[in-house]
A and B are shown apart, each in its own frame.
Chain A
Amino acid sequence: MIKSTAMPIFRLFSCTLLLFFTVVVSANDANEPNGLRLGSYQELVAQHEAKPLVVVFWSISCASCLKEMATIKEIHQEQPSLPIVMVSIDDSTEASAVLATLQDKGLSDLESWVFTESNPQRLRYEIDSTWYGEIPRLYFFDADHNRRGISGKISKADWLELLAS
């Protein structure tokens, strides 16, 4: 008797829990930024081998970065096949704020990363040994993956010129 009543409740609880993890947690996994650690940047770039690529380093507290996002959204809408990767230099504890900002700016479908390294300067140096940390910092890769780094917000015309060159 005890067994027959306990099991359905247990099963119901288990199913609910499973459903919760399937729907909620996996949904979060799909949207949460990836953690950028030492070595991650090289993997990130390699995944887009032989294709033009733009990597944008930004922060939730950087006004210039937030303004730049309007241009990024336009470029993304006009050239949806161009991979644009958003890398937040905020601490990984800010991942939810990073995600919320990308959603707010209509960029949550872009590949997204957040710094997850105890010494962010080491990570920056690995990405670019000449980068002092100013943001936004944009890297334009051509199909041969020649890289060009630009600091600061740029106009849509600048974007188009850099993508064409």
Chain B
Amino acid sequence: MFKRSKKKTSPQFIWLFILAPLLLTACQSTGKTALLNHYYDHGSAALNGIIATDFAPDGTLWRLFPTDKNIFVEYSTDLGRSFSRSFKVNPEEQKINVWAENPPIIKVSRSGRIHVLYYADEDQRATTYFSYSDDQGRTFSTPILVSDEATTAMHYMDQMLVDSTGKVYFFWHDTRHGRHDPKLGSGVVSLYYTTFDRVNGRLENQKITGGICSCCRTAIALAPNDKPVILARMVLEKGIRDHALIRLLDNHQWSKPIQAITDNWRVDACPEHGPAISIDDQGRSHLVWFTLGEQRQGIFYAHTDDYGHHVSHPPLALGDPSQLPGHPDVLAIGNRVYLAWQEFDGEQTHIVVQYSHDRGASWSHSKQVLSAPDRTAHPQLIQQNDNAYLIWSSEGKGLQLITINND
């Protein structure tokens, strides 16, 4: 009986094996399952030429590729020479919004979780969404709004970073407190933040400070104690737009802003030119910024060992003043400090790098390393193990990645 029954059912099992993958594929093509169906041909040009990147702990390079309606994520195991198929983050099409001062972000935690932050035009322009993947990009969580007043208050210029425990910090410019001191002038907003981790999934918004220049990206870095430090262009007394440091204290309160830089740039304008910060493992904050102040004009470097109370002086002027040097980034790895910025000669944008082997005490000559004739992102310095990489994207050339030669 058993033997006969086995003989009769055997062909049915064979058909099941043949049909099951076909049925599964059919289900996937109708979009009823969140699994698989990940390949998308998004073309070669990212929206406004802007591509975000980060290294995973295993050395895999991840990139976020925005198009006009979608956000894609891809990875490379050969330092960007080739990329995987594309994984889509947003399940429904959205009007994606990116500009160089307000780019999307991708961050990979030590555990390998891939975090994505992007902007789409909804009730407010450039509304921020957050999503993550725990399966190497195959599936992403349903994107959620970062701001809890996303429909009524504009919020943008977000920064996202992940600490060593996997806790995610978000910082952004928020217009929900519309009434700022009128003596400061216009374009003054608040700085907000929230956190996200495996335990606390709720994004509870908290104000850090008012008096933030609305259209200059705020810079964030982790100190050796794993807590964030902020470098922001603030609107100070008499409408002076200079830079201040704010840090998260051990009592979980934010310090008052400490004006670290005095350029006396008195202007009621949108500079669209935010600073950058990197903190070395001994706690020295390396700062780069742009100003057209009374004291100095152009881009500059300085460092501080006490979060802005005392700052190296005079600041180091960077770049060729006749080539509009701007949008600098900084990266500290041990005693080495790397700088990168862009210059423009009327036809092409160039990326120039400079480095120090002694924590910013002395510097190499500057060197032009990349060029592009079209619209570009700002240059970005990122670390993988002990190496510094310069990442830069443009409309025509896409993503370019180079190691910075220390010799």
Contacts and interface: CB of A to CB of B under 8 A. Distances in A.
Interface of A: 59, 61-67, 118-122, 125-126, 129-130, 132-136, 151-153
B123 to A, nearest CB: 15
B324 A62 contact: no
Contacts of A63: 186-188, 214, 270
Contact of B269 (A61, A122, A129, A135): A135
A134 B395 contact: no
Q: Does more than half of chain B's interface fall in helix, strand or loop, or is it mixed?
A: loop
Contacts of A121: 344, 349, 375
Contact of A134 (B186, B292, B346): B292
B125 interface: yes
Interface in B172-199: 185-188
Most B-side CB within 10 Å, residue of A66, A133, A134:
A134
Interface string B268-306: 111111000000000000000010100000000000000
Contacts, number: 73
A120 B271 contact: no
17 contacts: A62-B187, A64-B187, A119-B375, A121-B375, A122-B346, A129-B346, A132-B273, A132-B290, A132-B324, A132-B326, A133-B271, A133-B273, A134-B273, A151-B269, A153-B185, A153-B268, A153-B269
Given A63-B270, A122-B347, 6 more contacts: A62-B187, A64-B185, A129-B324, A134-B271, A152-B268, A152-B269
A19 B326 CA distance: 51
Contacts of A152: 267-269
B352 to A, nearest CB: 15
Contact of A153 (B186, B324, B374): B186
A129 B321 CA distance: 11
A137 B186 CA distance: 15
Nearest to B271: A134
Contact of A119 (B214, B326, B373): B373
B292 A132 contact: yes
A68 to B, nearest CB: 8
Contacts of B347: 122
A109 to B, nearest CB: 24
A118 B186 contact: no
B230 interface: no
B324 A59 contact: no
A125 B373 CA distance: 13
